[in-house]
Amino acid sequence: MKVKICGITDLTSAQIAIDAGADAIGFVFAESKRQIQIDEAKKIIKSLPNSILKIGVFVNESKETLESIYEEVGLTHLQLHGDETPEFCRSLRFPSIKAIRVESEKDVEKLSEYDCDYVLVDSPSGKYRGGNGTTFDWELLNSKKINNLVLAGGLTIDNVLPACNIVKPWMVDVSSGVETNGKKDYEKIKMFIKKVKLGGI
């Protein structure tokens, strides 16, 4: 089971996540309380191992902006949380992850429309597109065999194993679930990753 720690804004948090066993680091370029500037993200990514996925999170950006930031910063994937169409995703020159907000079976059916490298399932929108710390009905994905699925949305140390047992994702994606008072909590990061990696999933 792979783990992505999202909403990273400083090098120390990134290094602690990687040392604890994280497979991917997420940088939010969209409007968010975890938004990072291009220069800062570039500085952090330069210090990360090549084996780590570096994923940029965007909402309704132009193709030109996405591809420019991808190249400038050194990302490995573009994660799209807006209203991007399957055609738009196919037009991108770089690996992509399409996020789908799940409220009903109809939303789950949309997953098959996207032939991105990965699809991510997240909770319905709150103030921001993603990163709102709320869960959704995981049973909607029970029995669905999706090999390239990333599970996000309100995951915590306490609920990640039950969620994974139902959804059986390729990767789990956490942000607010490893924070305390809006800041990355290093002990929570370590505990979350340990739980996923050693949880017998």
Instruction: Report the phi/psi class of residue 12: left, alpha or beta, with left for phi > 0 and alpha for psi in -120 to 50.
Output: alpha
* Coil, helix or strand at residue 98: strand
Burial class from Cβ neighbours inside 10 Å (0-12, 13-18, 19+) for residue 148 reads middle
pLDDT tens digits, one per residue of 74-125: 999 999 999 999 999 999 999 999 999 999 999 999 999 999 999 999 988 6
Task: Give the Cα separation of 134 and 125 in Å (integer).
Answer: 9
Name the residues annotated as catalytic.
6, 122
pTM across the whole model: 0.93
Q: What is the mean pLDDT of residues 58-87?
A: 97
- Domain map (residue ranges) of the chain: 2-198
Task: Give the Cα separation of 121 and 10 in Å (integer).
Answer: 26
Q: What is the mean pLDDT of residues 127-147?
A: 75
The reply to whether CATH 3.40.605.10 applies to domain 2-198 is: no
